[in-house]
Each structure stands twice: as C-alpha cells, then as structure tokens.
Homo-oligomer: A and B are copies of this chain.
Amino acid sequence: MMLVNGTLAQTIPADDRGLAYGDGVFRTLRCVNGNPLHWERHYAKLAHDCERLGIVCHSEALLLAETRVAANGFADGVVKITVTRGSGKRGYAPPEHPVLTRIVTAGSFTPSRAAAGEGGGGGGIQVRLCALRLAHQPALAGIKHLNRLENVLARGEWRDPGIREGLLLDCDGNAIGGTMSSLFIVENGALLTPDLSRCGVAGVTRERVIDAAKTLRLTCRVEHIPLQRVLDADEFFFVNSLIGLWPVTRLNLRVWATGRLSEVLRAALQAGDVALS
C-alpha cells in the first residue's frame, strides 16, 4: 500500500530531488489497527527535520490522514513517511518555492519483519562492531535524512542473521548508535546515551527512553561515550520505534546478562505503546 502525494501509486517522478541528492527526510513508525503509535512525537520530529533542511513540512492533519489510509487493514503495521524537496531542475540550488513530494507506504509488521532483524530480540541480541566510522557533520547531525550511505555500508559489513545490529563509532571512536537504532548504556545505575550533535540520528524512541527515565527518577545523561565505556558498561541496549528495546548480550567477545534497567525500561516503553484513537 503506497500513497504518493495522496494518490495510490507505485512510482515517483525520476527527477525528484530525493533521488538526485537524498534531499529529504523520513520516519518509520508502527500502527496498530490503522492507528499510529507516538504520532505526536513522530510528526514533531519529521517537521523538525524538514525545518533543518529548510523545508516546510506538510500539515500534521494531512500526514495523519494519509498514514491512517495506508495503515488501514493492518492489525500490526509499519508505516514509512518520506518527504522530499520534490522535483527540480538540474543543479544543487534548492528551488525557492519547492513543491514537496510525500510518500506514505504501509506493510504488515509481523512476521516477515523478524527475518529482517526486527522483533524477537527480547532475550538479548548479538551485536557486531562496525568498521565504518561515522563522519562529523553538525549541519546534518541528528536528522533522519535520506543521505544514508554510511548506514548502508555499515549494514553491508555482515550477513550472519545471528547478528541483529551493528555498533557504529564516530571518527573519534565514540559510540553513536546502531545502524538502525539508538544506543543506551547503564553505568553505576545511571543511563547514558550518546551526544548526537556531530553525527547520528536522534530518534523518537531514544527521546521516549529519556522521558521514561525522568518519570522513573533514573539519572540519564547525554554524553560522548568512548567505546571502552560501552565495553565496561553494566548494561547496553538499542531502541527504535519498531524493535522497542533490544538488550545486547554480546558485542564481539564481550558478553552481558540481560540487565535490570533494560527490563524496567522495556516494560515502560511497552506500557506507553498506546495507539492514537
């Protein structure tokens, strides 16, 4: 099921700047019985990311309506919303008055997703340290934009289906996140998540974990986290909108038991998974 600018379609104009330059942003979210989870956060992030690129996002009402149309009929669905700067003449200069392209696609969340490395990581997952190092680009840091070759190259480093995620470091050796997820560690009872002001994607579920920590009166700090601190951490987990929370039980040779805070936060995330009605 795919809507392009509100119309059932399978294609986009080949001169779209999303294709030519990756000039756009996207979101992936879960929908239960056609209703999105954490919609306000997802829309706020989409609009914020558009603004960072100098694009004025479509209205919340429009995108919500199209998300519901696309997700309709899926008991447990995944919706991807892509917004690009639209068609353009050749040349990098952004058009002064762009006509944005919006693409809303939906599919079933289970069970095919498990094969893609989603879901089913509840007991703890095995993780690989990626060789690719993320570049520092403050102008694009935190944004879920369409320039994702770093993620593609990093995810292309392994094919072993037993490895569910890859840990990405930046060029200074700080842990930044997974190839498709946000990272947290637990150190002496405190939560830590990487500073994403130079690279990485500041995800909606990362924000939910930070908020859940507040509610639970847990300390949560945003810091630069060198690899060694991950290896020395008491707990280590990844989160995103589809997988929820994945405790890491192995990173190369280092092993962990599933930790208490990981369990507490996973339960808190699940309790908060109430669809918009």
Contacts and interface: CB of A to CB of B under 8 A. Distances in A.
A19 B12 contact: yes
B14 A14 contact: no
A2 interface: yes
Nearest to A131: B139
A217 to B, nearest CB: 36
Interface of A: 2, 4, 9-23, 26, 28, 53-54, 78, 80, 82, 84-85, 89-94, 96, 103, 105, 107, 116-117, 132-133, 135-137, 139-140, 145-156, 159, 171, 179-180
Contacts of A20: 26, 82, 146, 148
B12 A14 contact: yes
A22 B149 contact: yes
Given A9-B14, A12-B12, A14-B10, A135 B136 contact: yes
A92 B148 contact: yes
Nearest to A91: B116
Contacts of A91: 116-117, 155, 180
A4 B21 CA distance: 18
A151 B89 CA distance: 15
Residue among A21, A96, A117, A136 with max Cβ neighbours from chain B (10 Å): A21
A156 B107 CA distance: 36
Residue among A12, A53, A85, A155 with max Cβ neighbours from chain B (10 Å): A12
A20 B81 CA distance: 11
A14 B78 contact: no
Contacts of A148: 20-23, 92, 147
Contacts of A155: 91-94
